[in-house]
A = this chain, B = another copy of it.
């Protein structure tokens, strides 16, 4: 490769290669695709990166991503501010919003407690959640962290802090996923589904 060195091309391949899950071959393919893009499309792509990086910040209330002071959910006066759904990640907000069933507010932790990765409670927006509960009339906090060991531990930790404040704390239901197959469900999920069975 010493011989064939077209700097701007190699540089673009390197840049793509740094993205998570993008190997050298894929990076090459993407770089060649960019070379064949119309000029204005390449400019749009380039600007989208700068724009997103420079304009997006955390919502002052719920720590979700936003391009204004408050995120669209917190800005919306028709949202029920007395219920807070606690999630790990902004992507979880997107997933919940897609259901179209939730009309209250969120609180984004931006991580989970994970001693192995050196992430303790102080690095998450837990203090801000407690402040929020203390300052406004919150009736229910729904713990919607992921059903993983770390997600569960984080949910337990936070619920222990919140309960003394006299707020109802709930957790998303466990059970078999809709469209799933009992045969392939793991034992823990199945026994939770059994334990949580309801009358029909």
Binding site for B on A (CB under 8 A): 1, 3-9, 11-12, 14-15, 18-22, 26, 28-35, 37, 39, 42-56, 65-67, 71-73, 76, 90-91, 93-94, 97-98
Contact (A1, B51) CB under 8 Å given A19-B33, A30-B20, A91-B32: no
Looking at the assembled complex, report how far the CB atom of A55 sits from the nearest CB atom of chain B, in whole angstroms.
Answer: 5
Residues of B within 8 Å of A15, CB to CB, are: 44-45, 48-49
Closest residue of B by beta carbon distance from A110: B36
| Copies of the protein in its oligomer | 2
How many angstroms from the CA of A44 to the CA of B32 in the assembled complex?
Answer: 18
| CB-based closest 7 A-B pairs | A42-B53, A12-B52, A46-B49, A15-B48, A4-B97, A8-B52, A8-B51
Are A67 and B3 interface neighbours, CB within 8 A? no
Looking at the assembled complex, report how far the CB atom of A137 sits from the nearest CB atom of chain B, in whole angstroms.
Answer: 22
Looking at the assembled complex, report how far the CB atom of A3 sits from the nearest CB atom of chain B, in whole angstroms.
Answer: 6
Are B46 and A8 interface neighbours, CB within 8 A? no
Are B19 and A72 interface neighbours, CB within 8 A? no
| Among A39, A44, A49: residue with most chain B CB under 10 A | A49
Closest residue of B by beta carbon distance from A49: B46
Are B11 and A21 interface neighbours, CB within 8 A? no
Are B1 and A94 interface neighbours, CB within 8 A? yes
| Among A3, A35, A94: residue with most chain B CB under 10 A | A3
How many angstroms from the CA of A42 to the CA of B67 in the assembled complex?
Answer: 17
Looking at the assembled complex, report how far the CB atom of A173 sits from the nearest CB atom of chain B, in whole angstroms.
Answer: 23
Residues of B within 8 Å of A56, CB to CB, are: 6, 8-9, 35
Contact (A1, B53) CB under 8 Å given A6-B67, A15-B45, A32-B91: no
Are A11 and B52 interface neighbours, CB within 8 A? yes
Residues of B within 8 Å of A7, CB to CB, are: 67
Are A30 and B19 interface neighbours, CB within 8 A? yes
